[in-house]
Structure 1
Amino acid sequence: MSLHSVFIIDDDAAVRDSLLTLLRGEGIRARGFASGDDFFSALPEDPMACVITDMRMPGMDGAEVVRRVGEKRGAAWPVIVITGHADVPMVVQMMRSGVVDFIEKPFDPPRLIETVRGCLARLTDLNQQQGARAAVELRLARLTPRERQVFDALIHGDSNKAIALALDISPRTVEVFRAKVMTKMEADSLSALVRMGMTLG
């Protein structure tokens, strides 16, 4: 069973049911909604999920679903649009709005599964990245203000001499602070420390 859920929004019950059957048959957790209004009125709490929405529906259309999902969940909820009425301007506009893929009806089941699995894999990667970032931030909170200055300078690529000059301390003191930073950040090398800095962005 997949770690993350897929939510299907389509007013056509037959299409919705076939998608649910297809995804569940592949071990993917899936749940269907008959409209955008139904979906947002019972908005799931999942921190990460994939959304598949039809484009043309009564009431809230697919474009509005995409906009609102992006507003509420961002990259943590990638959206795939399925439609029987695609045109170039629509595709370009929707892709710029953050849609992961555009699939025309009648959809090809293997392609749809491949696209969904790609979304779910990216969510797993994002989940791991967020976990790594949280771990680094936790370690960063252990640093004193001076140690944080040394950390920032080290990941910026400054030498001990440059750090000493910038902070008006001796190179020997920089070495002491550097050792403390490495210990508190649980970094076994300077490259590991730099990777932590990259994780923080």
Structure 2
Amino acid sequence: MARTIYIVDDDDAVRASLHSLLSVLPGLIVRSFRSGDAFLEDVNDLDPGVLLLDFHMPGSTGLDVMKALDGSGDFVPIVLTGQGNVNLAVQAMKEGALDFIEKPYEAELLMQVIDNAFSRLEHDSEAAARVGQAEAKIAKLSPRETDVLKGLIEGRSNKIIAYELDISPRTVEIYRANLMEKLEVRSLSEALRIAFAAGLFPKS
């Protein structure tokens, strides 16, 4: 059965690059849209698929597109963001994005995330298993480690987190190292994915 992926990005070079990269995969139909508005105009006539969605676009932004889809099970969004923009990634995941890819993207990581998206689209049970694994990891954290994780995901510095929790910045560093070890991750981005998968930061 053919899989369909939709590229929604106003950057011609990005669309062309992604199209070339993905077109070589067997059984994959790739369609491109130069704006969120163009995608939404056609959305009712489109087959279910994975959505590679740029965050910043003229007209309907990536966030606007996800709000318009309103959690539709027909599309699994993956958001493309500028490097290090954790706050935008948080917004995107609250609106239903499966994951986010930082530009410039690594082809291997992109393929892995796309594969995960198709798994979610086609096999809800696999997604449920990932949620269970994430919940089990989050459950290992102490209350203080969870507080530090929340602070980090909200974009606060170690110094600000220390002030808010009435502990020293050095203690925050220790909690941060401990929570990264317990979650078995090496970056804040990976910790963010686990936190959202576990429902630690539910949609408001």
Alignment TM class, shorter chain as reference:
0.5 to 0.7
Question: Following superposition, which runs of at least 4 residues in structure 1 exceed 6 angstroms of deviation?
Answer: none
Find the aligned partners of 2:24 and 2:105 in 1 and give their Cα distance: 17
Q: How many Å separate the matches in 1 of 2:44 and 2:14?
A: 21
Q: Which residue number corresponds to residue 68 of structure 2?
A: 68
- 1:106 is displaced (CA, Å) by 0.4
Q: How does 1:151-190 map to 2 (within 5 A)?
A: none
Identity in percent = 33
Amino acid at match of 1:30: V
Paired residues of 2:4 and 2:47 also in contact (CA < 8 A): no
Instruction: Give 1:121 deviation, angstroms.
Output: 2.0
Match of 1:7 in 2: 6
What TM-score results when the alignment is normalised by the length of structure 1? 0.57
Which residue in 1 is equivalent to 2:189? none
SS at match of 1:43: helix
For residue 53 of structure 1, what is the amino acid of its counterpart?
L
5+ residue gaps, structure 2: 126-204
Is 2:46 aligned against 1:42?
A: no
Cα RMSD after superposing both structures:
2.0
Letter in 2 for 1:10: D
Larger radius of gyration: 1
Q: Could you tell which deviates more after superposition, 80-89 or 9-18?
A: 80-89
Structure 2 length as normaliser, TM-score?
0.56
Tell me the equivalent position of 2:109: 111
Give the length in aligned residue pairs.
124
Deviations 1:12-43 (A, max 9, x none): 11100111111111122110000011111122
The one-letter code matched in structure 2 to 1:21 is S
State the alpha-carbon separation in 1 of the partners of residues 102 and 17 from structure 2: 15
* Residue 94 of structure 1 pairs with residue 117 of structure 2: no
CA contact (8 A) 2:53 2:80 kept: yes
